[in-house]
């Protein structure tokens, strides 16, 4: 993924120290700016004009889905986050060449971008496809889909907006399902069979051709959705001992 989980588990994983020293970059229609030239949180409405809905993809890999959507639906504004510099540059160049001026591309660590740079509750949809499952327990903190971090992802959604997710690591997909199923205020459903428009990423097209099982789901956020996952509160809420005693 762009960010902590590598989208489409590309193998282009950058170490934590390496990622920390890489600058956050923002590109729109071939015009690239470092974060230092912008304000945080990002004023996405000023960066991409218009009144259209916003859709976000976290870890866009080669950008197949994001660019296709931006070109097919120019009235919608899109934002993609990717950690791998190569894929960030690739999509930025392609978007510029094809005139996708409704597509904002961000290079950075996903958890940092979500927690410090993107405004809350602005997205009408969030897409996460084939993220790295980080199967070793010591790497679980790098996942987006953990009880302590899922709030950053869901916090992007407006009430009534949806998270769309897919993975070929079915065991990991079931863990994600369980985390989302125990989150108050989410309407959760599995997508049986392929997406209506066909595969959304290069990896998905390959896996479908190979007949590999894929778990796809939608999580829709209600106005009553919680602010923190119940299982993750202990990991993110830290206060003086006097508070904890009280």
Furthest CA-CA distance within the chain: 59
Say how many C-beta atoms besides its own lie within 10 A of residue 130's C-beta: 26
Helix 85-97 and helix 64-72: axis angle, to 10°? 20
| Per-residue model confidence (pLDDT) at position 147 | 87
Active site residues: 132
Q: Tell me what the mean pLDDT of segment 202-231 comes to.
A: 88
Q: What are phi and psi of 27, to 5 degrees?
A: -130, 135
| Per-residue model confidence (pLDDT) at position 36 | 81
Alpha carbon distance 230, 205 (integer Å): 36
Answer for the pair 145, 199: CB distance below 8 angstroms, yes or no.
Answer: no
Alpha carbon distance 246, 241 (integer Å): 8
% helix, strand, coil for the chain, step of 5: 35, 25, 40
Q: Tell me what the mean pLDDT of segment 120-138 comes to.
A: 86
Q: Tell me what the mean pLDDT of segment 42-57 comes to.
A: 94
| Per-residue model confidence (pLDDT) at position 22 | 57
Q: Tell me what the mean pLDDT of segment 157-181 comes to.
A: 95
243 pLDDT tier (thresholds 50, 70, 90) = very low
Say how many C-beta atoms besides its own lie within 10 A of residue 213's C-beta: 10
* Single pTM value for the model: 0.84
Percent of the chain whose pLDDT exceeds 70: 81
Give all domains of the chain, ordered by start, each with its CATH number: 16-245 (3.40.50.150)
Alpha carbon distance 130, 61 (integer Å): 10
């Amino acid at each position: 993924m762009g960010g902590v989980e590598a989208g489409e588990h590309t193998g282009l994983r950058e170490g934590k120290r390496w990622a920390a020293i890489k600058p956050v970059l923002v590109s729109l229609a071939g015009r690239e700016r470092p974060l230092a030239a912008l304000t945080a949180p990002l004023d996405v409405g000023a960066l991409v004009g218009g009144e259209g809905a916003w859709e976000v993809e976290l870890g866009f890999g080669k950008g197949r889905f994001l660019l296709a959507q931006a070109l097919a639906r120019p009235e919608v504004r899109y934002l993609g986050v990717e950690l791998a510099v190569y894929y960030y540059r690739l999509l930025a160049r392609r978007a510029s060449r094809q005139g996708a001026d409704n597509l904002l591309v961000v290079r950075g660590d996903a958890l940092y971008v979500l927690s410090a740079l993107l405004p809350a509750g602005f997205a009408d949809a969030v897409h996460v496809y084939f993220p790295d499952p980080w199967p070793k327990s010591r790497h679980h903190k790098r996942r987006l889909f953990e009880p302590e971090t899922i709030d950053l992802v869901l916090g992007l959604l407006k009430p009534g907006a949806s998270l769309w997710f897919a993975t070929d690591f079915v065991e990991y997909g079931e863990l994600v399902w369980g985390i989302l199923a125990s989150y108050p205020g989410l309407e959760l459903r599995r997508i049986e069979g392929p997406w209506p428009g066909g595969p959304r990423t290069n990896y998905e097209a390959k896996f479908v051709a190979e007949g590999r099982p894929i778990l796809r789901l939608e999580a829709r956020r209600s106005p009553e959705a919680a602010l923190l996952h119940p299982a993750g509160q202990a990991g993110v809420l830290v206060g003086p001992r006097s508070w904890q005693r009280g």
